[in-house]
Amino acid sequence: MSLKLLPLQGWKSLVALNGFHSMLLGVKMLPLYQEVGYEEFFMLFKDMSPEQQEKILRQGVAFVQMKQDEVEAILSFVVDANGIPFSDNLRLLKPGAIVEGLIAVAMEFGRIEVGILSEDEKKKFPTSASTSDAPT
Amino acid sequence: MNTFKLNQMDHSLTVRGVEYDLPHVDSIVVEDPKQVMLTRGANGKNNVGVVFVEGVKDPYVITITTMDLPLTLFNLLLDVWKKEERIDYNGIAADGSTKNAKQAILSTKPQQLTLDNTAEAMNVVLVLRTFIYDEVKK
């Protein structure tokens, strides 16, 4: 399914960002990542390939129970073939479309620079791509 | 179900292959133009008469009074009306009974014609015309 996304802006984009981090935090709580802190997990996520990121996000959508307003905010940035936001047609959305919509927006958040860490904090984590550019 | 009840039904429109919810429907009126008629010669001698069907050339007229349509859906319907495209109406009751219209046109421009402080002022009336309309009661 090819989905079109609206620019991530406005108040709803902040609620959507909360939803994105809820999803990641939920995945971080899985046994595989329990040993790492959220900041480190977030940097690991940022350094993953898009395919790996999508895999993580699919786990998040499958296992993390998100708040309704977060889901609605995320889906307000996804439009169908007729340009109607998913959030305007929630009752008739199929689970597959909801999942794909959530992942598409979350991938966009993964691409853009909306970090939870300051530049100083990023330098602490050797996995970060930003640290490789940092002066030694 | 013996009768359809508006408050026990969900309504939607299928536009360009995507089904859209109509969250607020105030009324639905379907007019069936087809009537089986009876006539006889003007001399009035025959009491059995001749059966014929009137209104076969005319479509069903489905008037859906809706309110608070999402702006995006309103604009899409406006575009459908301008381009004279086909849409479907789907009504489904809690027990699975259905009212469906297919290959309908939007006969009048979707617009909000009244402005005052009553609830009815929020209405947008969608008038559909179609030859394919069907009700299934379960």
pLDDT at A117: 59
Interface contact A1, partner B, CB < 8 A? no
What's the ipTM?
0.77
Average pLDDT on A109-132 reads 60
pLDDT in tens, A67-90: 999 999 999 999 999 999 999 999
Cβ neighbours of residue B76 closer than 8 Å, sequence gap 6 or more: A82, A83, A84, B15, B20
Interface contact A85, partner B, CB < 8 A? yes
Lowest mean pLDDT among A41-45, A54-58, A126-130: A126-130
**Residue in the structure block whose two tokens are 């129970």:** A65
CB < 8 Å to B12, chain A: 92
Query: Is pLDDT of A119 > 70?
Result: no
- Backbone φ and ψ for A28, nearest 5 degrees, come out as -60, -25
CB < 8 Å to B73, chain A: 84, 88-89
For A94, which residue in chain B has the nearest alpha carbon? Answer: B19
- Residues 5-44 on B with a CB inside 8 Å of A are 10, 12, 15-21, 23
CB < 8 Å to B19, chain A: 89, 92
Yes or no, beta carbons of A82 and B15 under 8 Å apart: yes
Yes or no, beta carbons of A84 and B70 under 8 Å apart: yes
pLDDT at A118: 61
- Give the whole-angstrom CA distance, residue B128 versus residue B80: 12
CB-count burial class (<10 Å; 0-12, 13-18, 19+) for A49:
exposed
Element (H, E) at A11: helix A11-28
Interface contact A32, partner B, CB < 8 A? no
Interface contact B89, partner A, CB < 8 A? no
pLDDT in tens, B28-61: 999 999 999 999 999 999 999 999 999 999 999 9
CB < 8 Å to B20, chain A: 84, 88-89, 92
Spell out a b/e string for A99-134, using b for 16 or more CB atoms within 10 Å of the CB, else e.
Answer: bbbbbbbbebbbeeeeeebeeeebeebebbebeeee
Both structure tokens of A86? 């998913």
A83 vs A43: which has the higher pLDDT: A83
Read off the DSSP letter of residue A29. T
pLDDT at B113: 86
Query: Is pLDDT of A111 > 90?
Result: no
pLDDT in tens, B56-107: 999 999 999 999 899 999 999 999 999 999 999 999 999 999 999 999 999 9
Is the pTM value of this prediction over 0.90?
no
For A91, which residue in chain B has the nearest alpha carbon? Answer: B21
Under the banding of pLDDT at 50, 70 and 90, the label for residue A116 is: low
Query: Is pLDDT of B27 > 90?
Result: yes
Q: Which of A80, A82, A91 sits opposite B21 (nearest CB)?
A: A91
Q: Which of A80, A85, A91 sits opposite B18 (nearest CB)?
A: A80
SS3 for A134? coil
SS3 for A96? helix
